[in-house]
């Protein structure tokens, strides 16, 4: 059977472009030869109809509200596995056996410490620096510690860099939190599992023993699973583009953290909680719904809408259940923010504007309420998102480096600036 092609006519010239089919989901029209054969580029700001790469890691069906990591539904992974199992799956492509899991946990645990000189690095920040600013800088600084041993053409060194990144993010995230509250850094403890270790580094103090609440540790571990990867979102695309030049992987992850920080992306969990606090009571919701609909008002309902999900974000449903589980465990019966969130969701899901534009709550809508209840300040919400998304960034970076067809990412443009013109000496300018 001949390969499928799509024929387009460009200024009267017919051009055949190959169609490539995936395992599931939309096929693609391979336009690599379009410019050579037509002298034209495609134009797709925001890449709403553009596949930037071939990937085998994560699949999203936005209409059906489906999210698969290496083919496994997010609901099953969140229910039955733990975050490091998800990390193994995203990195290696298969669920680990018991011995592979034990070995992976052991290897991650023994990379959790950071170079002692990093402690001095933190002292350079104002004590009220936003923890995301600290994370961008400190993760980028890691490239100064490993640059001479990160030969990204060596598969073993790529895996070591991946393990280091996954292992050290909780330590750096906890350090960013401790620095912001003026408490001493707590070192990782190898007898704790990944998420309990992170909670210990955040909330323990040298003056007394600390044991994390196992229900909260399990809930946070599940939250990390939900945030681990999400195909070619803005921050992952940033990591891929940075990595396509051969840059140090730690520097590429720092670029991903910078992109995630934006309120349209990972910064939405912090912005969503601030929005709920600003709304304050269910009675004030209608005026904010009106602002969201007003074309002249830049206000958006933070935590609503998604580029891909035009149905309920499957992660938001699990997040909502986790929110109730955490609030119940903490004995928080009537959280006013939750009342506002539940009423806002109810109204929005019955409002014609949101129905027509298919705006549903996304993962960031409930995460803020949960993380605040756990004791994290709002400024740490996106840091936790970055902690969890690191494995997705790294897995996608590895896949890009190992893709034989990969080349440096270099988009073109539609130029609408000044035509060619000659220099005018300053004495002759009006």
The catalytic residue among 61, 364, 403, 422 is 364
Q: From residue 159, how far is each of 108, 187, 244, 281, 337 by CA, in Å?
A: 11, 24, 17, 49, 42
Catalytic, 364? Answer yes
In sequence order, the 6+-apart residues with CB closer than 8 A to the CB of 291 are: 297, 299
Give dist(CA 152, CA 207) in Å, integer: 43
Catalytic, 80? Answer no
Q: From residue 318, how far is each of 221, 226, 227, 361, 374 by CA, in Å?
A: 13, 8, 11, 12, 17
Sheet-wide strand order for 28-29: 5-10, 13-20, 28-29
State the minimum distance, in angstroms, from the CB of residue 138 to ligand SDX.
22
State the minimum distance, in angstroms, from the CB of residue 396 to ligand SDX.
11
State the minimum distance, in angstroms, from the CB of residue 333 to ligand SDX.
28
State the minimum distance, in angstroms, from the CB of residue 266 to ligand SDX.
6
DSSP string computed for 153-199 = TSHHHHHHHHHHHHHHHHHHHHHHHHHHHTPPP----TTS-HHHHHH
CB closer to ligand SDX, 221 vs 364: 364
CB closer to ligand SDX, 250 vs 385: 385
CB closer to ligand SDX, 191 vs 296: 296
Count other Cβ atoms within 10 Å, centred on residue 274. 15
Burial (Cβ within 10 Å: 0-12, 13-18, ≥19) of residue 196: buried
CB closer to ligand SDX, 96 vs 256: 256
State the minimum distance, in angstroms, from the CB of residue 235 to ligand SDX.
7
State the minimum distance, in angstroms, from the CB of residue 268 to ligand SDX.
3
Q: What does DSSP assign to residue 263?
A: T
CB closer to ligand SDX, 105 vs 364: 364
CB closer to ligand SDX, 70 vs 230: 230
Give dist(CA 281, CA 286) in Å, integer: 11
Q: Is the dihedral of CA 173, 342, 259, 23 positive or negative?
A: positive
Task: Note whether 180 and 379 are within 8 A (CB).
Answer: yes
The catalytic residue among 200, 229, 306, 313 is 306
State the minimum distance, in angstroms, from the CB of residue 118 to ligand SDX.
27
State the minimum distance, in angstroms, from the CB of residue 319 to ligand SDX.
12
Q: Angle at which helices 83-92 and 155-181 pack, to 10 degrees?
A: 150
CB closer to ligand SDX, 158 vs 306: 306
Q: From residue 371, how far is each of 157, 219, 223, 363 by CA, in Å?
A: 35, 10, 10, 13
Strand-pairing partners, residue 53, are none
The contact set with ligand SDX (CB under 6 A) reads: 46, 230, 233, 264-266, 268, 292, 300-308, 357, 359, 362-364
CB closer to ligand SDX, 74 vs 142: 74
Q: Is the dihedral of CA 330, 333, 336, 342 positive or negative?
A: positive
Residue whose beta carbon is closest to ligand SDX: 305
Give dist(CA 215, CA 326) in Å, integer: 8
In sequence order, the 6+-apart residues with CB closer than 8 A to the CB of 239 are: 252, 253, 255, 256, 393, 396, 397
Q: Which active-site residues does the annotation give?
A: 306, 364
């Amino acid at each position: 059977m001949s390969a499928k092609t799509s024929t387009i006519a460009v200024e009267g010239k017919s051009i055949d472009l190959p169609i490539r089919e995936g395992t599931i989901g939309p096929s693609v029209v391979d336009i690599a030869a379009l410019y050579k054969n037509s002298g034209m580029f495609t134009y797709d700001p925001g890449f709403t109809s553009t596949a930037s790469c071939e990937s085998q890691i994560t699949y999203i069906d936005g209409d059906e509200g489906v999210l698969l990591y290496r083919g496994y539904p997010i609901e099953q992974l969140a229910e039955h596995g733990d975050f490091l199992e998800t990390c193994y799956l995203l990195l290696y492509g298969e669920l680990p056996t018991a011995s592979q899991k034990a070995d992976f946990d052991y290897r991650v645990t023994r990379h959790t410490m950071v170079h002692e000189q990093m402690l001095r690095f933190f002292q350079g920040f104002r004590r009220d620096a936003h923890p995301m600013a600290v994370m961008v800088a400190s993760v980028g600084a890691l490239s100064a510690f490993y640059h001479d041993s990160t030969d990204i053409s060596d598969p073993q060194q790529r895996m070591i860099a991946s393990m280091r990144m996954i292992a050290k993010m909780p330590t750096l995230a906890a350090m960013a939190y401790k620095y912001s509250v003026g408490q001493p850094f707590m070192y990782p403890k190898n007898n704790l599992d990944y998420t309990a270790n992170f909670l210990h580094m955040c909330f323990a103090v040298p003056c007394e023993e600390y044991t994390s609440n196992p229900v909260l540790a399990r809930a946070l571990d599940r939250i990390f699973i939900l945030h681990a990867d999400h195909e070619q979102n803005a921050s992952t695309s940033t990591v891929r583009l940075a990595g396509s030049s051969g840059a140090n992987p730690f520097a590429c992850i720092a670029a991903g953290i910078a992109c995630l920080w934006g309120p349209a992306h990972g910064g939405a969990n912090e912005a969503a909680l601030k929005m709920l606090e600003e709304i304050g009571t269910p009675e004030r919701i209608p005026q904010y719904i009106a602002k969201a609909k007003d074309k002249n008002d830049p206000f958006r309902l933070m935590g609503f809408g998604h580029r891909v999900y035009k149905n309920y974000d499957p992660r938001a449903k699990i997040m909502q259940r986790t929110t109730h589980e955490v609030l119940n465990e903490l004995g928080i019966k009537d959280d006013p923010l939750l009342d506002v969130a539940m009423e806002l969701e109810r109204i929005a899901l019955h409002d014609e504007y949101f129905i027509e534009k298919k705006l549903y709550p996304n993962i960031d809508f409930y995460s803020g309420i949960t993380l605040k209840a756990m004791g994290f300040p709002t400024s740490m919400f996106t840091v936790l998102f970055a902690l969890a998304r690191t494995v997705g960034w790294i897995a996608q970076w590895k896949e890009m480096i190992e893709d034989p067809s990969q080349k440096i990412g270099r988009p073109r443009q539609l130029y609408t600036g000044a035509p060619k013109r000659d220099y005018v000496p300053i004495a002759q300018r009006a």
